């Protein structure tokens, strides 16, 4: 497990950008946290790290947005799903086991279909309006390696 503390939306996005630089095809990033915790800001930074040029918004009403970058980014927001069956209707498996990076906001709502190997990130509001704690929990060797890269960035100030 790796923890980060941020004091602004920009810092939260910066942690996401560091992570995005380390991600590659087939990676799955699960985001959880309260409404307004910073999941979309984190994803915007992650997209920068994947070299996505488009402006990233939360796909709250469309459920998924696709972006082109160094590798494709598939950004899911499952907050408005009625049940996990809707993920099957979306053809989620093509995304989860495809050639891009999946970011899944409100991942706890579809936990049953998420592969065992993934990176789970919880973003918590802490003591101030913009203060956040970002907790990264890797599951699987590939994600453990990504966490080692994040630790290296933390130690070098990148």
All structural domains of the chain, each given as residue ranges with its CATH number in brackets, are 25-130 (3.40.50.300)
Complete DSSP assignment for 116-154: SSEEEEEEEE-SSSS-EEEEEEEESHHHHHHHHHHHHHH
pLDDT (tens, 9 = 90+) of the chain, 158 residues, equals 999 999 999 999 999 999 999 999 999 999 999 888 889 999 999 999 999 999 998 776 778 899 999 999 999 998 888 888 889 888 899 999 999 999 999 999 999 999 999 999 999 988 767 899 999 999 999 999 999 999 876 644 44
CA distance 154 to 128: 22
Q: Which whole-number Å values give the CA distances from 158 to 52, 98, 143, 154, in the listed order?
A: 19, 29, 19, 6
* Predicted pLDDT at 157: 43
């Amino acid at each position: 497990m790796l923890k980060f503390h941020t004091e602004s939306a920009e810092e939260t996005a910066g942690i996401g950008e560091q992570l995005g630089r380390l991600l590659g095809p087939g990676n799955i990033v699960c985001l959880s946290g309260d409404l307004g915790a910073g999941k979309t800001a984190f994803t915007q930074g992650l997209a920068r790290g994947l070299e996505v040029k488009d402006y990233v918004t939360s796909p709250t009403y469309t459920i998924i947005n696709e972006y082109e970058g160094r590798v494709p980014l598939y950004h899911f927001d499952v907050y408005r799903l009625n049940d996990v069956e809707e993920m099957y209707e979306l053809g989620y498996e093509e995304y989860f086991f495809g050639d891009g990076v999946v970011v899944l906001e409100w991942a706890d709502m579809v936990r049953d279909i998420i592969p065992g190997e993934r990176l789970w990130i919880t973003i918590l509001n802490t003591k101030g309006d913009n203060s956040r704690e970002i907790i990264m929990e890797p599951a699987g060797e590939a994600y453990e390696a990504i966490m080692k890269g994040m630790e290296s960035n933390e130690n070098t100030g990148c």
